[in-house]
């Protein structure tokens, strides 16, 4: 990420997936690297359960308008999330979807976004680490692998601040898994 550039990330999925925490971890990592951030989410206190959205803007200088307007990355972890909050992307946007639980929607194509990265995130996590916890961290790994928006070390530190000791190892493996998935994909070159 260029020092002056504004980096915008939007993540969407279902309530329990920890996407908001994911965005906070990434925000803290960016702060550790001296960046400015604004993190926000749809706040569902009076709209139970369902779909969630987390947003993060990272910049090396003051962030005036705090919300995502033209995301660099859109990560969608459920169909419903993509339906509700998948708008507002552009040719600039790298879209990540979890192909293990989602069907690729028609509206995502070369015209509407920069790239579509369809990865079987949930199923890979379950297969490889035999757990569903850490889905948000795998996603952070994917985003990190894709953008390198912060250094991996900082990201690990930020994760460490938020997870209990006994889960640290699992989470580090989840992060690695995410990054690996991007690498593998990059090698095959298959995206959409």
Partner 1 sequence: MRLDFLRSERLPNIWCPGCGNGIVLRALLEAISQLQLDPDKVVLVSGIGCSSRAPAYTAFDNVHTLHGRAIPTATGIKLANPDLSVIVLTGDGDCSAIGGNHLIHAARRDVDITVVVFNNYNYGMTGGQASPLTPAASITTTTPSGNMDRPFDLVNLATGAGATYVARSGIYFTKHLVDHLRKAISHRGFSLVDAVAQCPTYYGRFNRKGSAGQMITSQKDWMVLKNVADKKNPEELAGKVVIGEFVNIIGARQADIDAAKEQS
Partner 2 sequence: MNEHVVLMQGNEAVAEGAIAAGVRFYAGYPITPSSEIAEIMARRMPEVGGVFLQMEDEIASIMAIIGASLAGKKVLTATSGPGFSLMQEGLGYACMVEAPIVLLESMRYGPSTGMPTKVSQMDLMQSRWGTHGDHWIIVLSPASVEESYRLTIRAVNLAEKYRNPVIVLSDETISHLREPIDVSVSPTLTDRKLPVEKSGYLPYRTDISLVPAIANIGTGFHTSFTGLVHGESGFQTANGHVAEALVERLRDKLFNNLDDIIQFETDRVEDAEILFVSFGITARGVSETVETLRSRGRKAGALRLVTLFPFDDDRIRQAAGSARTIIVPELNSGQLVLLIKRVFGDSRKVVPMNKINGDLISPQDILDFLQEENL
Please give the residue ranges that form the binding site for partner 2 (CB under 8 A). Answer: 24, 27-28, 31-34, 36-47, 63-67, 69
CB of 24 to partner 2, least distance (A): 7
* CA pair distance 32, 176, nearest whole angstrom: 20
From candidates 45, 64, 130, 190, binder to partner 1 by CB under 8 A: 45
Measured from the CB atom, the residue of 17 and 39 that comes closer to partner 2 is 39
CB of 109 to partner 1, least distance (A): 32
By CB under 8 A, is residue 164 in contact with partner 1? no
Measured from the CB atom, the residue of 48 and 187 that comes closer to partner 1 is 48
Measured from the CB atom, the residue of 47 and 64 that comes closer to partner 1 is 47
Sign of CA dihedral 57, 67, 139, 117: negative
By CB under 8 A, is residue 48 in contact with partner 1? yes
Across 53-92, b (16+ Cβ under 10 Å) vs e yields: bbbbbbbbeeeeeeebeebbbbbbbbbebbebbbeebeee
CB of 10 to partner 1, least distance (A): 24
Q: Which of partner 2, partner 1, none sits in contact with 49, Cβ below 5 to 8 A by type? A: partner 1
Measured from the CB atom, the residue of 16 and 148 that comes closer to partner 1 is 16
* CA pair distance 124, 113, nearest whole angstrom: 25
List the one residue out of 28, 13, 158 whose CA is nearest residue 96.
13
CB of 69 to partner 2, least distance (A): 6
Cβ-proximal residues to 57 (8 Å cutoff; 6+ apart), any chain: 6, 7, 8, 9, 37, 38, 39, 63, 66, 67, 68
Residue linked to tokens 């293990």: 100
């Amino acid at each position: 990420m260029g020092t002056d550039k504004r980096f915008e990330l939007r993540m969407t999925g279902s309530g329990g997936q920890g996407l908001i925490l994911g965005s906070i971890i990434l925000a803290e990592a960016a702060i550790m690297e001296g960046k400015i951030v604004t993190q926000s989410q749809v706040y569902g206190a009076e709209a139970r359960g369902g779909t969630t959205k987390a947003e993060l803007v990272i910049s090396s200088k003051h962030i005036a308008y705090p919300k995502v307007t033209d995301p660099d990355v859109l990560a969608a972890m459920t169909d419903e999330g993509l339906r509700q909050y998948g708008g507002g992307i552009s040719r600039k946007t790298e879209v990540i979807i979890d192909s293990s639980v989602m069907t690729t929607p028609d509206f995502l194509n070369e015209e509407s976004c920069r790239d579509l990265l369809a990865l079987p995130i949930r199923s890979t996590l379950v297969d490889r680490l035999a757990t569903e916890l850490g889905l948000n961290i795998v996603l952070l790994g994917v985003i990190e692998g894709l953008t390198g928006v912060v250094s991996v070390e900082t990201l690990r530190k930020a994760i460490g601040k938020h997870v209990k000791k006994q889960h640290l190892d699992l989470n580090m493996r989840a992060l690695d898994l995410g990054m690996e998935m991007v690498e593998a994909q990059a090698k095959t070159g298959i995206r959409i």
